[in-house]
Amino acid sequence: MTLSQDDKKILLDSIRDIPDFPKPGIVFKDITTLLNNAKAYKTLMDHLVARYKSYNLDAIAGIDARGFIFGAALARDLGIGFVPIRKKGKLPYTTVSEKYALEYGVDEVEVHIDAFAKDARVLMIDDLIATGGTANAAATLIERVGANCVEACFILSLDFLDGVKNLEKKTEVYSVIGLD
């Protein structure tokens, strides 16, 4: 199931561009304006529920932090559990972690070792995929703790970068809106 052109327009019109953030030459896609637009947020969540209601999912894994917003709401709507994939040092119980490269350095995400039932069918979600480093690390974590990442969902994908292509080596990928 894909988004209608009318619904795509509603979503695109609700996302604010911030030029030169976080550094010169970058156009940041600010989804906070989508979140505070009731019609746009409902349009997005209705679309995601329609897409994933037949996937027989056991859980949704949201990537820190904006993946929490979409993932928790979708999990509630689908009647399944939500699991946060957090930045290193934020989870209180025993964790498994995965490092990934940044433009200047390395970062790390983690998940509780008992976050999912064995062989659980998991949808991973975040707001945006660019180069895919965080998403690849998160998908690896899901597999390492014994679950199956059946798909990774992103509200936006920056299609001029290789994030989706790289992540597709690991799992199916769905982007609500692709940006060239």
The active-site residue out of 76, 103, 110, 168 is 103
**Residue 16 annotated in active site:** no
Q: pLDDT 10s digit of each residue in the chain, 180 long?
A: 789 999 999 999 999 999 999 899 999 999 999 999 999 999 999 999 999 999 999 999 999 999 999 999 999 999 999 999 999 999 999 999 999 998 778 999 999 999 999 999 999 999 999 999 999 999 999 999 999 999 999 999 999 999 999 999 999 999 999 998
**The domain 56-179: what is its CATH number?**
3.40.50.2020
Q: Which residues make Cβ contacts (< 8 Å) with residue 69, sequence separation at least 6?
A: 35, 62, 127
Residue 76 catalytic?
A: no
| Active-site residue (options: 16, 66, 168, 172) | 66
CA 63 to CA 65: how far, in whole Å?
A: 6
The residue ranges of every structural domain in the chain are: 56-179
The continuous run of DSSP H or E covering 146 comes out as none
